[in-house]
Amino acid sequence: MLPLLLISIAIAPCSVLGLWPIPRNLQTGTTLVKLPSTFDIKVDVNNPPQDLLDAVGRTKSYLQTDKLQRLAVGRGANDSAALGTAPTLPSLCISLLNSAPPRPIAVEAVLPIGTRSEGYSLTVPSDGSSAVLTASSTLGLFRGLTTFGQLWYDNSGTTYTYQAPVKIVNDSPAFPYRGFMLDTARNFFPVSDIKRTLDAMSWVKLNTFHWHVVDSQSFPLDIPAFPELASKGAYSSSEIYSAANVKDIVSYAGARGIDVLMEIDTPGHTTAIAASHPEHIACNQASPWSSFANEPPAGQLRLASAATASFTAQLISSIAQTLPSTLFSTGGDELNINCYVRDPQTQADLSKSGRTLEQALNTFTQSTHKALTDLGKTPVVWEEMVLEHAVTLPQNTVVMVWISSQHAAAVTAKNFRIVHGPSDYFYLDCGTGESIGSDPFANSWCDPFKTWQKAYTFDPLANLSTAQQSLVLGGQQLLWTEQSSPENLDSIVWPRAATSAEVFWTGATLPDGTARNVDAALPRLHDIRYRMVRRGVRAIALQPHFCALRPGVCDLHA
């Protein structure tokens, strides 16, 4: 009867507690398998790229240092007796499915959106033979290594899994874009914080770091062709991302399967440029700021000025050409019309050219986007550029929907590809009060706090036709940092930002055929949160430890 028992286990789909995002197909058993001290990961790849070898090394290190006990009463103590006779897994063998020369993970990670190969297959047997991981690319192997690393727990120094055999076939993302955005202009974040965030992103298979690097409050980005922007626009000389820092961050991200999408928001959110180039900024520091901007300080690029348009195009080109990503964002949100109405130079430029403000905005945007398309880059914009302004955009432009999830239909109706980042689901800073002073009763504009449960219920295809659904690239959660800094970065982002990782990797359906739901997600989200903490990310608790050890006991009607 033993062979029949093993067969029934192997075909019964269930969820391995620690896997996040859960694979789109998954078969597991109930056998304990342990790793011997001689366990190794064997790379059967001709001339393996160094970043693949480094990823293997990190995986082996995590296996040795995670020391995460099972989230169960007793922390897995009941497994101790059975572990003595449990089969061992001698090795994990990884290989590519094609014979083409392998490309580095970092190269695969920045291929045009929709062309990246992130799929993998993984088998972890329970009979003492080796585990096998295969993929069509080094990026896929990296995703599989991430899954493999989440299977293991510690029991008195023994590293083991308790749900072997594990079989995952052709696990690949439901959506090609799975991101996280960090604003580094309102408050500065050292490179070490960004790298730690990139690590955590990679552990849940997020693949795009949207870097909102500059804004009205500060310009911390050193662009070699425009050194004055950072030297005069940053908060201090120690709060600047040098060209070397940018290269380091991009390289670090790429090795972890992450594309860096940089944003230079224009023509709004640009007051910091006035510190070095006041001639390009309208209503600089105008008061009251609320009449000229969505938040202080007021100031926008003089979009009707040919000189300003040329300056901006050169600025964007100078930084974009140093980045490997095919995507680059020019922003375009929250344009304050009153600023331009009240700016004498803008009005004079409009009068001289015989253009309306919208026509001038179109010319300005055409200029900045040409700077990108000349480099082979794809422009990314916020939704206002499509829904509020008469701007002609390249049809391949990627539009970020942020004001409301209800706006996705209107953008896709214009046949633009979208990235979901709606404030009503994915804004991590909502519900934490207001950064504006002199108002003791102020709340954030996007209250309430966006819980992980709220984010997890998001439906990327809601209210979209079949044709419109094909335009959805994926989505991201975002951290605007008016009230965030290195001190609370980890706790406000993790594990909440991991929810969209599963929404856009796994899709609507869990591997057992049921709809994605918060009840099934919570025990696994607990698990990845505890693993993040073991790896040095100060992710916040979701429940009391008592509840985490007893899935379902703390449910509302338990």
Q: Which residues pair with 378 in a beta bridge?
A: 327
Specify the residue for token string 């916020």: 382
Joined together, the tokens standing for residue 204 give 């849940």
Phi and psi at residue 31, in whole multiples of 5°? -90, 135
* Sheet with 40-44, side-by-side order of all strands: 40-44, 91-96, 131-135, 120-124, 166-171
CA distance 362 to 358: 6
- Residue 381 corresponds to which amino acid? V
- What are the residues whose beta carbons fall under 8 Å from the beta carbon of 220, sequence distance 6 or more? 184, 185, 188, 213, 214, 230, 233, 234, 235, 239, 240, 241
| Pair 131, 165: CB distance under 8 Å | no
Catalytic choice (239, 334, 388, 434): 334
DSSP letters along 210-238, please? EEE---SS---B-BTTBHHHHHHHSSSTT
Question: CB-side exposure of 23: number of CA atoms within 13 Å?
Answer: 30
State residue 247 phi and psi, 5-degree precision: -60, -40
Q: Give Cα 266 to chain centroid, integer Å.
A: 22
Distance of alpha carbon 87 from the chain centroid: 38
Task: Mark 250-262 as b/e (b = at least 16 C-beta within 10 Å).
Answer: bebbbbbbbbbbb
Strand partners, 440: none
Structure tokens at 495: 């594990």
Phi, psi values for residue 327, rounded to 5°: -105, 145
* Beta strand pairing call for 131-135 and 120-124: antiparallel
Query: Going by DSSP bridges, is the β-strand pair 378-382/398-401 parallel, antiparallel, or unpaired?
Result: parallel
Is the distance from CB of 430 to CB of 478 less than 8 angstroms? no
Whether residue 87 has a cis bond before it, omega within 30° of 0: no
Q: Which residues contact 7 (CB under 8 A, 6 or more apart)?
A: none
Q: Spell out where 97-218 has E strands.
A: 120-124, 131-135, 153-155, 158-164, 166-171, 177-183, 208-212
Cα distance between residue 340 and residue 334, in whole Å: 13
Active site residue 334: yes
Contact 59, 41 (CB under 8 A): yes
Cα 37 off chain centre by: 35
Q: How far is it, in rounded angstroms, from Cα 524 to Cα 45?
A: 32
CA distance linking residue 492 with residue 503, whole number of Å: 19
Q: What are the catalytic residues?
A: 334
